[in-house]
Structure 1
Amino acid sequence: MEKNPKRYATFPPEVASVAAARRFVGDTLRNWGVDEVDDAMLLTSELVTNAIVHAGTEVEVVCEALGGQVRVEVHDRHQARRIPVPGDQVSGRGLLFPETLAISWGVTYGQGDKQVWFTVPGVSGEKPAPPPPSYEEMVTAPRPSRPTVDELAHRTAQTAQDALGADCVYVLLTEDDADLVLKATSGVRPEGTALEMGLEGATVGGRGVYADLGGSPYNLPALQAAGIRSLVTAPFVIDGRGIGLIIAAARDAAHFNESDVERLQQVADRQAPSLERARLMELERARRGWLGFLAEASSLLAGTLDQQMTMALVSQLIVPRLATWCALFTVRDSGTALPAYAWHADETMVADLRTLLDLLPPAPPPAEPGPWEGFGAAPSEGMPPTAHRVAGDVAHVFPLLARGRSIGMLVVGGPRGARFNRDMLELTEDLAGRAALAIDNARLYEEQSDMSRALQRSLLPPEIPVIPGLDVSVVYEPAGESGEVGGDFYDVFSVGSRWRFAIGDVCGTGPEAASVTGLARQALRILGRENYSIPEVLERLNALILDEGSRARFLTLLHGEVEPREDGSARVTYATAGHPPPLFLTPAGTVTGDDESDLMLGAFPEAEFSVQTVTLGPGHLLLGFTDGVTERRNGDRLLGDDGGLERILAGCAGLGAGAVAARVSRAVRAFSTEPSHDDMAMIVLRIEE
């Protein structure tokens, strides 16, 4: 047999897995040289069948050679589900086979799984002593890992069963909330968890012999149902403080006497220090892990300002690490909390969970954490036929408090019989506080973004007018995530039989820039319709901006007028105030434009503005743009360097205004993969042919 042999295999929860697990155990034991494998294969079939039928989860089978025996373990992922026991099965043989065919067997319960194990004879004969390890092996050999609390509890149960000749032994330990939790068994396992065994009111510290269960202060009806008649108890005590209880039980009445009490107490006293030390070490490791978990949670929650994404992250952090399902409620204007997001570890149950939550009557969120009985208020009508899978779950609620006010509540739940110990509840409460702040931040950001978008829309014309003989197209792309109002704007409006256009760029972003944008856009329209010339409009707008005093922002502006002519051409008059001059494109692909611009608005009261006039024939177009186009950066290069925009525009000859705007926009975005830090606006005016 190979050195320290151990083999693992995992099987899905389906009928075919029983035969596959049986073959795996048989082949493994034969490879190890075990002669009699039929009993092990039969026992494996029974245990895997029980796990699939009663737990319904993925099953792991472990084979391990231990001295002259082979130990086979069957793990499932649902510790709250029962396993059939002798005298209490509704079909099949339950666990009678392990009692009959195995050398020993038992059940061990972990935090999130359960294992049923048995041992059978292994390879017969004495093994030769292994050679002493070399110096290199001694130096490089890994340090032996310390046994866990569950492993120590299991060994304690086996030791006590052997010492007292008991049919079964139960090791129960206290957790931080002083509740007894069943950690390990050796022999018959009763139905239900420790709480269902009637241990809620038991005082840890008692010892004695009970010839009949009717005289036990622990009143264990589950043991009576399994045929147990007598028992003996002894406490685990450290420094005068009870940390748990060990119970040895038998199917015979008066099976134990006072000497059994002493033997059981010796086992308890010998194992108590190791159990407590292992418990404290595991608790310390868990708490260190919780600190890392909270740090990771904080980092993830800080990475998004989307409210729905934040709630989804909270649910995924909680499920399945802390609970089986999670629901988030948010407070609406009425002051009541309504369901906003829900998630379940079993995705097939998410729909039922959400239906039940939607049926709950609106109610204000609680002020303090505590047990949650919300599903009891759900009406019976309208409930899905499978709602019972969720409706009977155990749940706890935590208020979501941010900036001194309630924004909702967090509810976590698990199947009937699940336990939420104090550490888990405290961790969830801490996470709820971080989640509340993240959700509130996302909510405030979304409100601010909505207001910014609404304000930005109000600063742009509702639509571009249809102008006979003129093809017009505009582009506006704010920088970043639209969290602030941009400083770029455009407008096209009629002035009698002529049409005026404008494209401008206010220095900066935010409310101050928006105030200047709104002032400029309205002033352009009012002054233009009062028949002021373009230079006069710019002079008066310059004075209006300067009158704003400290609130004033610099404004660059291209403002012009298009006057269609009977021959199909158009006369264009324009002025530039610190703004990039427009570019003109002929049908042949020739691009022209000025190099000079007058002073920007809002800088000098004595600024004067001159106009340029150009006649555009059919097929000619004008491109006005802001510096977000030409100053698009890629490394140390700008798109406008060396006539970059002119080359792009030259390739647009023969295209309509919309096609030109789209092609230039694509070229600007393709120039750099980095996000733009400046708004981009363009206006294209093309004389139709």
Structure 2
Amino acid sequence: MAVEKNAKTYTTFPPEVASVAAARRFVGETLRGWGVDDVDDAMLLTSELVTNAIVHAGTEVEVVCELVGGQVRVEVHDRHQARRVPVPGDQVSGRGLLFPETLAISWGVTYGQGGKNVWFTVPGIGATEHPPPPPPREEIISAPQAARPTVDQLAQRTAQAAQDILGADCVYVLLADDDAELSLRATAGVRPEGAALEIGLEGAPVGGRGVYADLGGSPYNLPALQAAGIRSLVTAPFTVDGRAIGLLIAASRDPGHFIEADVERLQEIADRQAPSMERARLMELERARRGWLGFLAEASSMLAGTLDQQMTMALVSQLIVPRLATWCAVFTVRDTDLASPAYAWHADETMVADLRTLLEQLPPAPPPAEPGPWEGFTPAPAGDLPETAHRVTGDVAHVFPLLARGRKIGMLVVGGPKGARFTRDALELTEDLAGRAALAIDNARLYEEQADMSRTLQRSLLPPDIPTVPGLDVAVVYEPAGEHSEVGGDFYDVFSVGTRWRFAIGDVCGTGPEAAAVTGLARQALRILGRENHSIPEVLERLNALILDEGTRARFLTLLHGELEDLGEGRFRVTYATAGHPPPLFLSPSGLVKAEEDSDLMLGVFPDATFTVRTEILKPGHLLMGFTDGVTERRRGKQLLGDDGGLERILEGCVDLNAGAVGAKVMRAVRGFSVEPSHDDMALIVLRVEE
């Protein structure tokens, strides 16, 4: 049971119930209660210390947590004085206290008359009190560290220690990566030219140890060392739990420099440092993998943020370069099953043009079924090559199929300079990214195809151009809402019927294919019925019947439909009817705006609907403006643009403007009314009698 006293918390674990899990939980809960964010290292170190106490002491175990001077101090007490603590360098089994040496800011052991305590400190929160004076102690073993060492730092310390102990001219620390390939991580002493980068171990597997006075008899192929004058060496493997993780090599220009005893000395160094380096390597790998997961999440979010196909391919390439490869190329499948280059990017921007030129000269090829090496530039493409093409043609490359919805839509190729090696982690990450990229590219392709069809359909539902009407200045404005992949529900038309002219502006309920079907039906019916000399009310009644005949596929339609008749002397008679649509606004040269209040029933609701005709005379300078409800229902908070005659006030300021200028001014005012994007289509039709 925990008791808090003077910023300390104590707990006791009797031997019969001593539990590593309980100690971890106690430390974790205590530190979190103090507001410490990162408790993982403290819990791991507590596990190690309590385990040692249980195994080696076998007495009651007490754990003490203290928040002192901005640091957390954890002590593990036992009641056995004689049992010493295994520390790094002792010839004992297990890891000893390598974890505290690696993870803690400082640690130590205090021996007293009643037993001993092993302690460590880790970062905490703001200081709560001054550190107390150290307790009396018979012996303190301490290993203060400024920061947790990295793999390369530990490897460098190991190399330096081996050189000092063996008096070698040079020492190499090689560690295996996840592909079991050795890579040079640290050197000490004389570095033969080229040897530091081209150790090139081949032949016997890692694990050999011994003295080699003659490099010709070595199981390892070390041409760089031989060329540098190295004549003898001694090797010892790094092993952890019986598994080889690397190799420690000490070399000399003296053929007889090393003796058999040096093998044991080098092996002792390797055995002492291997657990620390493996621990650091695993932590480094874990951090890298967490970073890759974050990278994939960020990449997925970025790829989901665009539906432009070319932009998506550019984004994929620039996510890969230079994190995972020196260059990247995206190939896509077009009209055949063969893939051709669509985008390429290089870390060296001066080489992008050369890379694209080379890729374009490759013959189209089917995407591969599985990831693997790519030999596209071997042999080099035929034709006129850039002078700098050799900088790319010798590169190492890998190819990944782009699969989306069970189809091969292309392939992704990544490359690096000659001699470069792609690690297994890098290839797996690229393959994962290729899968996400394929779906993003295919989504963008489908969206572009749908958007193109929608634009084509939208154009077919509107008149190709506005006719020239003698004596009238005519202008229209149309702005669909939403994505380009949707067909808007608003439409307009102006057409002749003998010596007269008819106009229409309508709004179909909703958007998409169903709305497009009603729009197409209405526009064609208006023209056909008008040219058959049906009156305005007859046209609306017949169109209402046609929409109702569509049954459940039909959509409601609001419509303003009218006719203009030239009376001579610059005057026009306007005859119009409204079916559920906002009535038109009339503007006189004096700035007076006039509007009707009422509208008849919308089309597609009742079969016996009737429609009232209204008539106005337009004189020179007068204009009529029809509009859809997307204009008046433009919203800013709870206010609509059409509230309290808002549109009428805008139109009042359009005196003496031509039809096009009126439409532009009204739409500027509509857009400026709210910063939010419009959620409804907007259409205007302006008819002004010329003066």
TM norm structure 2: 0.78
Aligned to 1:169: 171
Q: Identify the match of residue 238 of structure 1 among 234, 237, 240.
A: 240
Aligned to 1:584: 586
Equivalent position SS for 2:528: helix
Larger CA deviation: 429-438 vs 191-200: 191-200
Q: Identify the match of residue 481 of structure 1 among 473, 480, 483.
A: 483
- Structure 2 vs 1, CA of residues 548 and 200 (structure 1 numbering), >3 Å: closer, same or farther? farther
Larger CA deviation: 542-551 vs 227-236: 227-236
- Structure 2 vs 1, CA of residues 190 and 354 (structure 1 numbering), >3 Å: closer, same or farther? farther
Aligned to 2:688: 686
- Structure 2 vs 1, CA of residues 169 and 194 (structure 1 numbering), >3 Å: closer, same or farther? closer
Larger CA deviation: 406-415 vs 492-501: 406-415
Measure the CA separation in 2 of the matches of 1:254 and 1:200.
24
Measure the CA separation in 2 of the matches of 1:629 and 1:190.
79
Measure the CA separation in 1 of the matches of 2:543 and 2:392.
67
Aligned to 2:662: 660
Measure the CA separation in 1 of the matches of 2:444 and 2:550.
34
Q: Identify the match of residue 377 of structure 2 among 370, 375, 378.
A: 375
Measure the CA separation in 1 of the matches of 2:128 and 2:580.
82
Deviation, 1:136, is 5.8
Measure the CA separation in 1 of the matches of 2:362 and 2:130.
65
Measure the CA separation in 1 of the matches of 2:529 and 2:554.
20
Aligned to 2:495: 493
Equivalent position SS for 2:686: strand
Measure the CA separation in 1 of the matches of 2:384 and 2:258.
56
Q: Percent identity?
A: 81
Aligned to 2:571: 569
Equivalent position SS for 1:314: helix
Aligned to 2:520: 518
Equivalent position SS for 1:572: strand
| Residue pairs, 1:11-30, within 5 angstroms | none
Aligned to 1:299: 301
- 1:436 pairs with 2:429: no
Aligned to 2:278: 276
Deviation, 1:490, is 0.4
- 1:463 pairs with 2:465: yes
- Structure 1, unpaired ranges of 5+: 1-133
Equivalent position SS for 1:546: helix
Alignment-mate amino acid for residue 624 of structure 1: G
- The Cα offsets for residues 10-67 of structure 1, whole Å up to 9 and x where unpaired, read as xxxxxxxxxxxxxxxxxxxxxxxxxxxxxxxxxxxxxxxxxxxxxxxxxxxxxxxxxx
Measure the CA separation in 1 of the matches of 2:206 and 2:156.
19
Equivalent position SS for 1:447: helix
State whether residues 504 and 560 of structure 2, in contact with CA within 8 Å, keep that contact through their aligned partners in structure 1: yes
| Residue pairs, 1:310-459, within 5 angstroms | 310-459=312-461
State whether residues 507 and 513 of structure 1, in contact with CA within 8 Å, keep that contact through their aligned partners in structure 2: yes
Count how many residue pairs are aligned between Structure 1 and Structure 2.
554
Deviation, 1:216, is 1.6
Deviation, 1:640, is 0.6
- The Cα offsets for residues 244-288 of structure 1, whole Å up to 9 and x where unpaired, read as 111111122232221222221111111111111111111111112
- 1:597 pairs with 2:594: no
State whether residues 337 and 409 of structure 1, in contact with CA within 8 Å, keep that contact through their aligned partners in structure 2: yes
Deviation, 1:194, is 8.2
Alignment-mate amino acid for residue 239 of structure 2: V
- The Cα offsets for residues 108-155 of structure 1, whole Å up to 9 and x where unpaired, read as xxxxxxxxxxxxxxxxxxxxxxxxxx996769xx98422111111111
- Structure 2 vs 1, CA of residues 358 and 187 (structure 1 numbering), >3 Å: closer, same or farther? farther
Deviation, 1:382, is 2.1
Measure the CA separation in 1 of the matches of 2:379 and 2:602.
67
- 1:263 pairs with 2:265: yes
Deviation, 1:371, is 1.6
Equivalent position SS for 2:377: helix
- Structure 2, unpaired ranges of 5+: 1-126, 133-143
Equivalent position SS for 1:375: coil
Alignment-mate amino acid for residue 276 of structure 1: E
Measure the CA separation in 2 of the matches of 1:298 and 1:137.
49
Equivalent position SS for 1:296: helix
State whether residues 203 and 219 of structure 2, in contact with CA within 8 Å, keep that contact through their aligned partners in structure 1: no
Measure the CA separation in 2 of the matches of 1:505 and 1:576.
12
State whether residues 362 and 376 of structure 2, in contact with CA within 8 Å, keep that contact through their aligned partners in structure 1: yes
- Structure 2 vs 1, CA of residues 687 and 191 (structure 1 numbering), >3 Å: closer, same or farther? farther
Deviation, 1:190, is 5.1
- Structure 2 vs 1, CA of residues 470 and 222 (structure 1 numbering), >3 Å: closer, same or farther? same
Deviation, 1:192, is 5.8
- The Cα offsets for residues 476-535 of structure 1, whole Å up to 9 and x where unpaired, read as 000022221000000111101111110000000000000000000000011111111111
Alignment-mate amino acid for residue 588 of structure 1: S
Deviation, 1:161, is 1.3
Measure the CA separation in 1 of the matches of 2:574 and 2:191.
94
Aligned to 1:118: none
State whether residues 361 and 377 of structure 1, in contact with CA within 8 Å, keep that contact through their aligned partners in structure 2: no
Equivalent position SS for 1:155: helix
Aligned to 2:544: 542
Aligned to 1:630: 632
Deviation, 1:374, is 1.5
- 1:198 pairs with 2:200: yes
- For the aligned residue pairs, the C-alpha RMSD in angstroms reads 1.8
Equivalent position SS for 1:236: strand
